[in-house]
Amino acid sequence: MENNDLSHYRKSYEKHELLLQETPNNPLELFQKWFHEVDEFFPEDETNAMTISTMGLDGYPKNRVVLLKRFNYEGFIFFTNYLSEKGRAIAKNPNVCLSFFWAGAERQIIIKGKAEKIAENLSDGYFESRPRGSQLGAIVSQQSEVLESREELENRLTELEALYEGKEIERPSYWGGFLVRPVEIEFWQGRPNRLHDRIRYQLDSEYNWVKKRLSP
């Protein structure tokens, strides 16, 4: 492979600014504001796509992109197979990191928190709202397990479609939601000359949010 030198890649970030005195006391309010702004003005970005980082069972950290499905003052909810690599990693070590990068708005958000399973009835409700194909997909996929071929996966789906024809599909017990309760949230706004704006919120011992500006 040839040496691919990328040192000439350059982009100047000039769209917005983030001033400490203009930020709310609760970071979830700023998250909501940014999320809705990106969703409205930068439709080319998949706004709810986020990277989740876990500490793997093999001792290595691992990142992957998942979809945020709900957020509120408690935290951030996504859904997955609890027996998947990420599900088993969270069961062993619930400390995770979420990150959003919205290129159009020149913004990113980094969230440290602890993940916990949500109530089963909440997972049931979301599963029932999914398209039928996605419901079957959650059952078909033995997530993270080795597959001999693509045909093996498609054959399983065909068998399940026949099995559940005309029947309601119940959520499998191994599939559901995680809530990530944040302990630290950092907001990053791109600025010219790499002098980016960074505001970090951290929970103190009394569960109050403390915010500070960080050097870029």
Residues taking part in catalysis: 194
Helix spans in 24-130 (H): 27-41, 85-92, 120-129
SS3 126: helix
Distance CA 117, CA 66 (A): 16
> How far is it, in rounded angstroms, from Cα 58 to Cα 55?
8
Which position has the token pair 């907001």? 187
CB 199 within 8 A of CB 115: no
The β-bridge partners of 109 are: 100, 187
Alpha helices in 76-149 (DSSP H): 85-92, 120-129, 132-140
Query: What's the Cα-to-Cα distance from 205 to each of 27, 77, 124, 183, rounded to whole Å?
Result: 17, 24, 35, 11
